[in-house]
Homo-oligomer: A and B are copies of this chain.
Amino acid sequence: MLRRKPAQDRKAEIVAAVLLLADRIGPDRLTTNDVAQEVGVTQAAIFRHYPTKAALWAAVGEAIALRLAAAWQEALATGTDPRRRLRALIGAQLQQIATTPALPSILHSRELNVDNAALRDRFRGLVVLFQDHLAATLGDMAARGAMQPSVRPDDAAALLVSLVQGIAIRWSLGSRGFDLVAEGLRLLDVQLDLFAGHQALA
């Protein structure tokens, strides 16, 4: 018979399994049976820890939200130079996606966006928070003259958010054949040099 674990540990294992399998199988196709097999217990055991599948997804969402918020806080603690802080923010985001590749598909899954209204609002708040961080840092850069005045700050923020999403998609479609963080930061530097309006070194 299998080793029994305290509920707290098992719950964490289950959430981890969902994150792993959401990437492999897809968030909207993931079944409680898949999760149970991955964890190594019976399907019924999942329901001892989470009363419904929706509750399980809520726990997964909460775990993601905590991780993201922590990563952003750490990035914001990076010095006072706005360009370095921007790099830290974007780098942290890319790092989160690299370690949890299911993140984008979960964020856009119908599971979260259609079924679970409370969680959807939670994530909307997160996205807004991230964009606020970006906008604030871009404002600092503008104050230092590191931004062409012709580029509106909200447009710049939109371009940066797109950059992250776009490279994450390319990384996924290309079977993760390159270093997401390194390539993302390289592209970010290209874009930031363009924002600054001076030519980068060849």
Q: Which residues does A use to contact B, with CB under 8 Å? A: 25-26, 28-29, 105, 108, 110, 114, 124, 127, 148-152, 155, 158-159, 161-163, 165-167, 169-170, 173, 187, 190-191, 193-195, 197, 199-202
State how many angstroms separate the Cβ of A124 from the closest Cβ of chain B.
Answer: 8
Known contacts A150-B190, A150-B200; 14 further A-B pairs (Cβ under 8 A): A26-B28, A28-B110, A124-B173, A127-B173, A148-B194, A150-B201, A155-B190, A158-B170, A159-B163, A162-B162, A163-B166, A165-B166, A197-B197, A197-B199
17 A-B residue pairs with Cβ-Cβ distance under 8 Å, sorted by A, are A26-B28, A28-B29, A127-B173, A149-B202, A155-B187, A158-B167, A159-B163, A159-B166, A159-B187, A159-B191, A161-B166, A161-B170, A162-B163, A165-B165, A194-B194, A197-B197, A197-B199
Q: Contacts of A202 on B, CB cut-off 8 Å?
A: 149-150
What residues of chain B lie closer than 8 Å to A127, measured between beta carbons?
Answer: 173
- Alpha-carbon separation in the docked complex, A187 to B200 (Å): 22
Contact partner, A150, options B105, B151, B155, B199, Cβ 8 Å: B199
Q: Taking chain A's interface residues, is the majority helix, strand, or loop, or is none over half, making it mixed?
A: helix
Q: Per a CB cutoff under 8 Å, which of B149, B161, B187 touches A158?
A: B187
